[in-house]
Structure 1
Amino acid sequence: MTEVAGVRLREMTGDDVPAVMTLERTLFPLDAWSEDMLRAELAEPARYYLVAESGDALVGYAGLWSGPPEGDVQTIAVAEQVWGRGVGGALLTELLLQAERRGVTHMFLEVRSDNPRAQRLYERFGFVQVGVRRGYYKGADAFVMRRVAGEGSHE
C-alpha cells in the first residue's frame, strides 16, 4: 500500500487483532477497546482499518467510519518508539484518501483534551475544533474536530 520511514501501511485483517490489542492497551490503558469491539468494527462495511508495520512489528493502526457525506476517524495509534517519524500522518493520510473514495466530505473526530501532540497532527491536516464533550474519556474531555474537504491543508 504505502511506505514511510521504513514503515509499511496495509489494510488490517483479523490476524492483526492480537497485536493491535497489545498496542491499544499500552497506549490507551484507561480507554482501551475490547477485542470484541475491534472485531465487530472490522466486520462492518462502513468501517476501514489499516495497520503500520516496521519489520515484523505492528507499530500503529487507524480506523475510519464512513456514512457519506460524513465520516469519523475512529482511532489512530502509533507506538511510542516511532513517534516523530511521520507514521501518524501517513495513517491519517490513508484514512482521508479512503474517506474521499467513499464520498465523505465532512470528517469528524474526538481527541483527548490533554493530548496536544495528536491535536497538532489533526490541525496540520485542516481539522478545527468545533466542540467539547465533557467527560468523554476517563480523566479528560474530548475536543470534537472537523475537516471539510477542500478546506485547510492536507499533507
Structure 2
Amino acid sequence: MYDIRPAAQDDLDAVLALILRLQADDAHHIGYLGETLGDVSAELAEFEPDWSACTVVATDDSGWVRGALTVELDTDTGRAYLHGPFVDVPVNHPAGSRIWDQTADALYARVAPLLDGVADRELLGHTGHRRLAAFAERHGFSAARPCGIHVLDGEGLRGLMLREASCPRTGPAREMRVLPTDAAVHEAVAVLHERCFPKTYLSGRKLVDGSRSHTVVVAMDGDRVLGYASGKAEPSEFYLDFVAVEPDVRGQGVGGALVTELVWKLAEKSGARPQAAAAILAGNRSSQRLFDRLGFRLHLELVAYRAQAA
C-alpha cells in the first residue's frame, strides 16, 4: 500500500511526469489533459489557491510519487472538480486492479477535508477507463452523457485558417469583437452561455470577467449579440470549449465564422499550433454538424461522473 500525504510544491515535477507517463500508454485511458508537459502544467497552474494546497499524492517506499488527486473548488457554483485519481500501476500487474482501487480510495479519503461541505462533486475520465467508472460507482457518482473530443490538424487546419471569417450578412453592421468590450455585450454573452450551458464547469460570469485564460470572440449585429465562441491556446493545440449561437440565426454560418475567427485570434495571440480540438456533448447534433462541416474528426470520448446531495 502506498503512503498517502498532502502534496508539496516540490512534488509538481513528479506529478507532471506521472500523468505524462500514464497518458503515453493508451491502456491507462488518460487522454484529456494535453499531450505535453506544457499542456498538463498549464492545467494544474489554474488551480487556486495553489496546486499543492489542493492536491494529495501517493508515494512508494522509495519516496517516488505513484499517485495523485487534485481538487478544484468553484465557489460560484458550489461544485468540486476532481482531477484524477491518477495511479501508476502496470497494466498487466496481477494485483493491478486491487492496488489501483485501494490507492484511489485512499487518495479520495485524504482529500475529504478539502471537500467538507461540498456535496456537488464531479470527475471526468475516458469512457474506456473501467477502473475510474468503478471508483465513481463506489463513491456514489452517476455518469452523464459522454462528450467527444474532435480534432482538426494538417491540411484541414491550414484550410480553416485560410477561410473568410466574416459573418454572412443578414442584417446591418455585422462584426466580430473580442472580449473585453462594453458591459452590455459581456452581460449578453454571460446570459447566452448560461442558457446554452446551464450545468457546465464555467459560469457565464467567469467566462466574461477575464479571470480565466480564455479568448472569447463575439458575433454582433449592431448592438445585438448573435453568438460567441471561446477557447485557449495550449502548448500543443488550440482548445475550443464553448460555441453558442442564438436560435433564430442558426444555420446561417454564424457558428462556422465564430470558430474560424477564434482560431485566428488564438494563433495571432499565441502563435501556431499543430491542431485544434473541440468538445461536443453526445447528442448535440447542431454542434456535431458544425464541426463536421469544418473538417473536425472524433478523437476520443470522455464521460463526467457527478455526485450530489440527496
TM-score (norm 1): 0.74
Does structure 1 residue 132 correspond to structure 2 residue 132? no
> What does residue 4 of structure 1 align with?
168
Q: 1:36 deviation in Å?
A: 4.3
Does structure 1 residue 13 correspond to structure 2 residue 180? yes
CA deviation vs aligned residue, 1:3-53 (integer Å, no higher than 9, x gap): 42243211121523211111112222333732442145x355x53211111
Alignment of 1:23-62 (within 5 A): 23-31=192-200, 33-39=202-208, 42-43=210-211, 46-62=213-229
> What does residue 119 of structure 1 align with?
288
Identity of aligned residues (%): 29
Does structure 1 residue 84 correspond to structure 2 residue 248? no
**Structure 1 contact 49–62 (Cα < 8 Å) conserved:** yes
* 1:123 counterpart SS class: helix
TM-score (norm 2): 0.40
CA distance in structure 1 between the partners assigned to 2:290 and 2:224 by the alignment? 23
Residues 24, 118 of structure 1: CA spacing in aligned structure 2 closer, same or farther, 3 A cutoff? same
CA distance in structure 1 between the partners assigned to 2:204 and 2:292 by the alignment? 30
> What does residue 71 of structure 1 align with?
238
Amino acid at match of 1:37: K
CA RMSD of aligned residues (A): 2.4
Residue range with higher mean Cα deviation, 99-108 or 71-80: 99-108
Which runs of 5 or more structure 2 residues have no equivalent in the other structure? 1-164
Q: 1:136 deviation in Å?
A: 6.8
> What does residue 142 of structure 1 align with?
none
**Structure 1 contact 69–104 (Cα < 8 Å) conserved:** yes
Q: Compare the two structures and name the one with the higher helix fraction.
A: 2
Amino acid at match of 1:13: P
CA distance in structure 2 between the partners assigned to 1:83 and 1:95 by the alignment? 18
Does structure 1 residue 97 correspond to structure 2 residue 261? no
CA distance in structure 1 between the partners assigned to 2:175 and 2:190 by the alignment? 19
> Who wins on radius of gyration, i.e. which is larger?
2
Residue range with higher mean Cα deviation, 51-60 or 2-11: 2-11
* 1:59 counterpart SS class: strand
**Structure 2 contact 280–287 (Cα < 8 Å) conserved:** yes
Count of residue correspondences: 135
Q: Compare the two structures and name the one with the higher strand fraction.
A: 1
**Structure 2 contact 218–228 (Cα < 8 Å) conserved:** yes
CA distance in structure 1 between the partners assigned to 2:305 and 2:290 by the alignment? 20
